[in-house]
Structure 1
Amino acid sequence: MGPTSPVDFILQPPVFHPVLPYITTIFGGLTHGKMVLVQGVVLAEAERFQVDFQCGCSVMPRPDIAIHFNPRFRSRPHVICNTLQNGRWLEETKFPHLPLKRGEAFQLLFLFGQDEVQPFDASRTEYPVAHPMQLNSSKLAVPYCHPLPRGLASRDTITVRGLVCPVPEGFSLSLREDPSHVPLRLSTCFRTRALMWSSFPDEALSHAEKVAACFPFHPQRFFELLLVCEEGSFKLALNGIPLGQYDTPWLSWDRITELWIEGDVTLYSVLS
C-alpha cells in the first residue's frame, strides 16, 4: 500500500551533536511505519539517560509521555519502559539485561507500529514491546466542547494539544458563557497568516488584537497551546514559548461554562 499523504515522504534531516536536554518536533507525528534512530556515547560515570516521545513541550503542566525509554547503569543495569498520562506513570515494563555499557557508543532504533513501538539496540537486542496510549479519541472530534462546570479562576490553566490538518483554513478556541454569548475567542487564519484575540464584552462592542507578528502555526505540525488565567488577563504560550497576554478586565471568569474548539485541527488532549 502506498503513502496516503505527502508527510509519508518526509525524512527529517539528522541532527548532529545536539545540546542536552534536546527536544524537537517530529513532523507529522509518530505514524505507523515511522522509525527514529538515536546514536550516542554513554558517559563513563553515567547513572541513567532517557529518550521520551512526548505530546508537547511544556514544563508546567508536564506533557504526557507516550513512550519513556530509560536505561539505568547502577549495580544491576536494566531498561525501564513506561507511559506518563495526566501526570501519572502507568505500569512500567522492565528489561533486566542491558547490553549498553558506560563509556561505549550505542545505537538505538525505535520502530512505530499501529499501536505499539519496538526499541532495539545495535546488537539487535529487542526490548519489551511498549504499547503507547492512543492519542486519537472519538471523544475529541471537532467541533469539540470542553465543559467548565466551575468556571475559571486566577491561576487556572487550559492546555490544548493537537495537529493542524494538511490543508487548513483556520481554527478557533472560544470561551462561552452560554451558546449565544462568546465573550472571548482565539482564532487562526492561514490565508492571512494571523493569530487573533477577539473579545465581545457585549452585543454593541467588539475588539480584535493580533497576538504575534509571526504566524506560529504550520500544516501537519503538532502544537501545544497553554492559556493561563491571571488577574484580569490571559497569558498565552505555544509549544512552551510565551506569546504575551491579553487584558480582559470586563470578563467574569466564573460565568464561563465551556471551551469550544472548531476548525481544521485534530485534537489529542484538552486539559483544564
Structure 2
Amino acid sequence: MAYVPAPGYQPTYNPTLPYNKPIPGGLSVGMSIYIQGVASEHMQRFSVNFKVGQNSAADIAFHFNPRFDGLDKVVFNSQQGGEWGKEEKKRSMPFSKGSPFELVFMVLAEHYKVVVNGNPFYEFGHRIPLQMVTHLQVEGDLELQSINFIGGRPAPNQTPMVIPAYPGPGGSCQLPPSNLPTMEGPPTFNPPVPFVGRLQGGLTARKTVIIKGYVPPTGKSFDINFKVGSTGDLALHINPRMNENAVVRNSYLNGSWGSEERKLSYNPFGCGLFFELSIRCGMDRFKVYANGQHLFDFSHRLSAFQRVDMLEIQGDVTLSYVQI
C-alpha cells in the first residue's frame, strides 16, 4: 500500500516551481509549514507568499523574500488591493547559494514565526486575518525538495488522512478504522540533542513516531533507540553511519547486541541533507519510511515490545521536529 500521511501531516515531495496550491484546511493557529530545498548556485531571490486566493491579483498576507543583491537581506511585507504595505527587512542572509535549507513558518496568534535551519529568524505580525489565507506560493531561484503542512484542520471536503497499517503475514492491509495508527503526543520543535522522550503507556501496536532532522556536513553517525528504561534493552537501534554509507539496525537485549542488519535499496542519510522518518510499530515488526518511501522493516526481537517506554536520539544530527 502506498504511503499516506497522518492527519495534519501532509508532505509533498519534489514539487515543481512555481508552486501555488491550497493550504489543506486553510491557515490556523498552531500550524507549521516546513519547506525543504536547495538555494540555487546563482540565486538572486526567491519568495514565499501566504495568499488570500490563488490568482495573481490575490492579496498576500505575508511575503517572505530573501534577496542576494549585493546588500544581502530578507524583505517581509503584505499586499492588499494590489498595493504593497510597509516593508520590513532584516539585513542578514540565512541562506547560502548551493546549500540545502529547512525553512519553517510557525503560525501563532499574533504573528508568523520564521525559523531557518533550526534558528529563529524573524516574527512578522498579522496584517490580514490568518483565517483568510487559503494558498501557499513559492517561486524563485531554488529547488524544492518537500513542503509539509503540520497541524491545523483537515479541509472540510477531505476525509481525515491516516497512516495505513502495514500488511500482516497474510499480506492484507484491511483493518477497521478503529485499528488505524495514530500519533498521540504533541510535537516537539527543534529539540536539543541528545534527545530523550517518553512513550506514555509504552510502545503500542500501530504507534507511529515521526522524526525530522538534518545531518551536518561533518556528521559521522547518530543513533535512534527504542529503549526499555528499566533494563536498558533496545528493541530497535537505528544507526546511520555517514562515514560508511550504511544504516545499521540492531537490538540490544540482556546485555548483548544481536545480529546487524544493513541491507537497503537506498540511503537517505547524507552529510548536509535533511531527512524525515516515519517509524511505525506493528504486531510483528517495525516498518520505517524515509522521505515518504519505504526504507526497511525490522522484525521484533523483543516480543514484549510494549515495555519500550523511551525514545533516544543522539550523535551527529540536528533535530527540527519529533512526534511520539
Give TM-score, length-normalised by structure 1.
Answer: 0.58
Structure 2 unaligned regions, length at least 5: 1-10, 24-31, 38-47, 89-110, 120-187
1:192-203 → structure 2 map (5 Å cutoff): 192-203=244-255
Deviation at 1:145, TM superposition (A): 0.5
Aligned to 1:219, the other structure's residue is in SS state: coil
Contact 1:152–1:254 under 8 Å retained in 2:
yes
* 1:10 alignment partner in structure 2: none
Structure 1 unaligned regions, length at least 5: 1-20, 26-37, 41-47, 58-66, 82-92, 94-107
Deviation at 1:124, TM superposition (A): 8.0
Paired AA for residue 49 in structure 1: K
The question of 1:229 aligning with 2:281 is answered yes
The question of 1:49 aligning with 2:21 is answered yes
Deviation at 1:188, TM superposition (A): 0.7
Alpha-carbon distance between aligned partners in 2 of 1:267 and 1:119, rounded to the nearest angstrom: 31
Alpha-carbon distance between aligned partners in 1 of 2:79 and 2:322, rounded to the nearest angstrom: 33
Alpha-carbon distance between aligned partners in 1 of 2:222 and 2:209, rounded to the nearest angstrom: 17
| CA offset digits 1:60-81 (Å, max 9, x no partner) | xxxxxxx77234159xx74465
Change in Cα spacing, 1:177 to 1:109, as seen in structure 2 (3 Å) is closer
* 2:50 alignment partner in structure 1: 69
Alpha-carbon distance between aligned partners in 2 of 1:144 and 1:213, rounded to the nearest angstrom: 28
Contact 1:234–1:248 under 8 Å retained in 2:
yes
Deviation at 1:109, TM superposition (A): 7.1
* 1:162 alignment partner in structure 2: 213
Paired AA for residue 51 in structure 2: N
1:77-96 → structure 2 map (5 Å cutoff): 78-79=58-59, 81=61
- Single out whichever of 208-217 and 224-233 deviates more from structure 2: 208-217
Aligned to 1:209, the other structure's residue is in SS state: coil
Alpha-carbon distance between aligned partners in 1 of 2:85 and 2:76, rounded to the nearest angstrom: 11
Alpha-carbon distance between aligned partners in 2 of 1:68 and 1:235, rounded to the nearest angstrom: 36
Paired AA for residue 14 in structure 2: T
Alpha-carbon distance between aligned partners in 2 of 1:149 and 1:114, rounded to the nearest angstrom: 44
* 1:111 alignment partner in structure 2: 66
Contact 2:60–2:79 under 8 Å retained in 1:
no
Aligned to 2:232, the other structure's residue is in SS state: coil
Contact 2:222–2:315 under 8 Å retained in 1:
yes
Deviation at 1:214, TM superposition (A): 3.1
Deviation at 1:271, TM superposition (A): 0.1
Deviation at 1:116, TM superposition (A): 8.5
Alpha-carbon distance between aligned partners in 2 of 1:155 and 1:114, rounded to the nearest angstrom: 46
* 1:45 alignment partner in structure 2: none
Paired AA for residue 278 in structure 2: L
* 1:256 alignment partner in structure 2: 308
Tell me how many residue pairs correspond in the alignment: 196
Change in Cα spacing, 1:69 to 1:262, as seen in structure 2 (3 Å) is same
* 2:241 alignment partner in structure 1: 189
The question of 1:145 aligning with 2:209 is answered no
* 1:177 alignment partner in structure 2: 228
| CA offset digits 1:155-174 (Å, max 9, x no partner) | 11000111111201111101
Alpha-carbon distance between aligned partners in 2 of 1:218 and 1:270, rounded to the nearest angstrom: 19
Aligned to 2:266, the other structure's residue is in SS state: coil
Over aligned residue pairs, what C-alpha RMSD do you find?
4.1
Deviation at 1:239, TM superposition (A): 0.8
Paired AA for residue 24 in structure 1: N
Change in Cα spacing, 1:116 to 1:50, as seen in structure 2 (3 Å) is farther
Change in Cα spacing, 1:232 to 1:249, as seen in structure 2 (3 Å) is farther
Alpha-carbon distance between aligned partners in 2 of 1:203 and 1:163, rounded to the nearest angstrom: 31
Alpha-carbon distance between aligned partners in 1 of 2:279 and 2:192, rounded to the nearest angstrom: 21
Deviation at 1:133, TM superposition (A): 5.1
Aligned to 1:49, the other structure's residue is in SS state: strand
Contact 2:190–2:321 under 8 Å retained in 1:
no
Deviation at 1:267, TM superposition (A): 0.6
Change in Cα spacing, 1:230 to 1:117, as seen in structure 2 (3 Å) is farther
Question: Between the two proteins, what is the percent identity of the paired residues?
Answer: 20
Contact 1:173–1:262 under 8 Å retained in 2:
yes
